[in-house]
Structure 1
């Protein structure tokens, strides 16, 4: 049995050696270099011919938007302005909430949990008091949808998880008075204009 195993192993080694010898016997044709060809690039052996290539960054092409009326164009431009205005806040909320979840996942102490949540709440409130409170009603409505898009939870759910159901109810009641809804969700099919604006905005390519 040992002799049989050694024989098979020897046969495989010889076969592989012959295969490599066959591969090395094929002449490889390299492209002719010019005097200015000084940049090293990757290449692929294609049937004995070395074909140089370089990786390219993705290029996204968007079709030109055609509007039926000047009013439609003006409405879209206003929407674009509002989306670009509030998108950084939605991305901030996403990063801050993800950081909070990571911190809570590695902390078992209840007091430490409360301290982390309180710090997150204070940071978001600070941003609200300095910047977000200046948003228009329309911008606020868009922001609540974008938070759901980025975080995967509505603003109401985030407040409920971090501050409790009572505060979430109070915040929602106040928001409804000024035309907001913290339970607003984002549907890319229904918000195709917003989605197209976000995709072409460059926020994800920075």
Structure 2
């Protein structure tokens, strides 16, 4: 008896679903396809009319910038050169730091965590000794801004989290001697020229 009731209930549900599906598709008007309409696209039911659509990539339209003087244009060109010079390092720092966070989240052993941090630190130092040390003071200042932009934390905060407060303080002292500040933050509003250069650089194009 119980099984028969269950069967009847299931039959009623399926029948109702079939009627509902029929109601939603019976009165739908589809567009007339041409012989060249061979690409499958999404469609939206708009009052009984199926409207085909396709998602497009975002297109950014930038106005032509007019410079007040040749000196202003030359300054912007120097800034653009410096930003594009250090941008790969900022992106590398972002990827490496994200990898470190993923690796640390998978282990609970303090010894293993210290090993992971040391490996990351050695990689950063290796890059510093071979490439970053050749950067100018201006390029170094821009790099600290871009690291904050990409990672969401200042260089000082990253060192403090991974190496401790004393190491961050020591690194900051050395940085200040050569004209850097590891606590430098990035603002898309205040650093609008840098933001404009990055947006148009092609680094984030899919």
* TM score, norm. by length of structure 2: 0.81
**Corresponding position of 1:154:** 154
The aligned runs of 1:12-23 (5 Å cut-off) are 23=24
SS at match of 2:38: coil
Match of 1:203 in 2: 203
Instruction: Name the CA shift for 1:31/1:115 in 2 (closer, same or farther; >3 Å).
Output: same
Q: Which moved more, 1:112-121 or 1:93-102?
A: 93-102
Q: Separation in 2 of the partners of 1:132 and 1:121?
A: 14
Which residue does the alignment assign to 2:3? none
Match of 2:32 in 1: 32
Specify whether residues 67 and 21 from structure 1 end up closer, same or farther in structure 2 by C-alpha distance, changes over 3 A only: same
CA–CA separation in structure 1 for the residues paired with 2:25 and 2:156: 67
Whole-Å Cα distance in 2 between the matches of residues 193 and 136 of structure 1? 19
- The separation in 2 between residues aligned to 1:21 and 1:35, in whole angstroms, is 28
For residue 140 of structure 1, what is the aligned residue in structure 2?
140
Deviation at 1:135, TM superposition (A): 0.9
Q: 1:71 deviation in Å?
A: 0.9
Distance 1:171 1:24, change over 3 A: closer
- Unaligned regions of 5+ residues in structure 2, if any? 1-8
Equivalent position of 1:102 in the other structure: 102
The 1:22–1:112 alpha-carbon spacing in structure 2 relative to 1, beyond 3 Å, is closer
Residues 45-91 of structure 1 show CA distances to partners (whole Å, capped at 9, x for unaligned) of 33343332222122122222221111111111111111111111111
Where structure 1 has 5 or more consecutive residues not aligned to the other structure, the ranges are 1-8
**Residue equivalent to 1:72:** 72
Q: How many residues align?
A: 197
Which deviates further from its counterpart, 43-52 or 143-152? 43-52
Q: What's the CA shift string for 1:166-200, capped at 9, x where partnerless? A: 33333222222221112212222221111222222
- Residues 50 and 73 (structure 1), Cα distance of their counterparts in 2 relative to 1, 3 Å cut: same
> Please, what TM-score do these two structures have when normalized by structure 1?
0.81
| Cα distance in 2 for residues equivalent to 1:142 and 1:124 | 17
Give the superposition deviation at 1:125. 0.6
For 1:203, what is the secondary structure of its paired residue?
A: coil
Q: CA offsets per residue over residues 93-134 of structure 1, 9 Å max, x none?
A: 112112212222222222112111110000001111111111
SS of aligned partner of 2:204: helix
